Amino acid sequence: MHVTSFIKEISCKKRLGLYALQLSILYMIILKTKEWNVMLNLRKLMFGIIGVVPDKLWLSIMYRRKMGAKLNLDNPKTFNEKLQWLKLYDRRLKHVEMVDKHAVKQKVATVIGNEYIIPTLGVWRNAEQIDYESLPTKFVLKCTHDSGGVYICKNKSCMNKNEANKKMNHFLKKSYYNLYREWPYKMVTPMIIAEQYMEDSDSHELNDYKFFCFNGKVKFFKIDFNRFTNHRANYFNREGKLLPFGEENYPPDPNKKLKMPDALDEMITLAEKLSVEEIFVRVDFYYCNKKIYFGEMTYYPQAGFGKFIPVEWDEKIGLELELPFFGYKCNRPLSL
């Protein structure tokens, strides 16, 4: 996100008034600051101000910036609009546990069984507490309260522990809520967990499958590929047939031949068990060495700012997402 254009945009919002003025002044100070530590502290302060802007107003600004359109919360039609609506009005506390990368394991195990859970090797409040001596040669470090806060170790004897600690402490301080207002992450206690390193013996990768569940039913799923070179993603129906749409950020490749996992039907069944009480959720599984492992549950894919191609598919997919209280303006969040 380019901060200059961002500040200019929010300055045009009369309701932001003082917020915009404070952010503008801070940004100009940051530009003139040469001391690295001072600059970092000012950036923290700037994002702190962002954090107190009301959710509805902030999401409207971000939606226009990211999607190039006005956010319609009174009568949302597209998939991404409806995800923003859910951020504001579906605030059931169980979602907090389901996005917590540590707590979710126990919840999922009670529904589908412990055999689908990747073993946790340790839990710590900060990086300095990590007991590296107790960890195997290969492992993965994750933060419980965000997405992407990961450190992968393939050989402990060669790892730089100071670098790993620095990265994990940095991830711990990040707010996954502030920028895109995915509210459940705000309530998760930041922790570090270590997990067993997973790698398929044939592909030497960790293949994951993302199932889009609407009212407890899988409608389609997504497979990412070429993650570290030319990241693409194809979408498929329940039978594994290629669908005619994709994402602008990770364009589909209809010529890419992807083998469907032998356990596709089982993964669909498991995803539906986990999503039975959800309006919408994406349930991710890994398929590694002929076994299924639970990955995560995501309530707002791409934070509700993911452009589809062709563009009309945003509204077509939106038809699958049936909102409660649809037909009139909702003034209070769900709290079931």
Burial class (CB in 10 A: 0-12, 13-18, 19+), 179: middle
Determine the pLDDT at residue 328.
37
Model confidence at 329, pLDDT cuts 50, 70, 90, reads very low
Model confidence at 1, pLDDT cuts 50, 70, 90, reads very low
Model confidence at 232, pLDDT cuts 50, 70, 90, reads very high
Q: Which whole number is the average pLDDT over 306-330?
A: 85
Determine the pLDDT at residue 42.
58
The contacts of residue 196 (CB under 8 Å, 6+ apart) are 118, 119, 121, 136, 139, 140
In tens, the pLDDT along 164-208 reads 999 999 999 888 888 899 999 999 999 999 999 999 888 778 889
Q: Are 274 and 297 in contact (CB under 8 A)?
A: yes
* pTM, 2 dp: 0.86
Q: Are 209 and 284 in contact (CB under 8 A)?
A: yes
CB count in 10 Å sphere of residue 77: 13
In tens, the pLDDT along 24-62 reads 555 566 555 656 565 555 566 666 667 778 899 989 989
Determine the pLDDT at residue 31.
58
The tokens of 287 are what? Answer: 């398929």
Point out which residues pair with 193 in neighbouring strands.
123, 142
Sign of the CA dihedral running 264, 266, 267, 272: positive
Determine the pLDDT at residue 112.
98
Determine the pLDDT at residue 46.
60
Determine the pLDDT at residue 327.
44
Q: Which whole number is the average pLDDT over 218-225?
A: 96
Domain ranges of the chain: 1-53, 54-89+201-326, 118-198
Task: Give the CA-trace dihedral at 224, 173, 56, 299, to 10 degrees.
Answer: 30
One-letter identity of residue 49: I
Q: Which whole number is the average pLDDT over 94-103?
A: 97
Average pLDDT across the chain, whole number: 88
Q: How many Å apart are CA 185 and CA 104, to the nearest integer?
A: 13
Q: Which whole number is the average pLDDT over 239-245?
A: 97
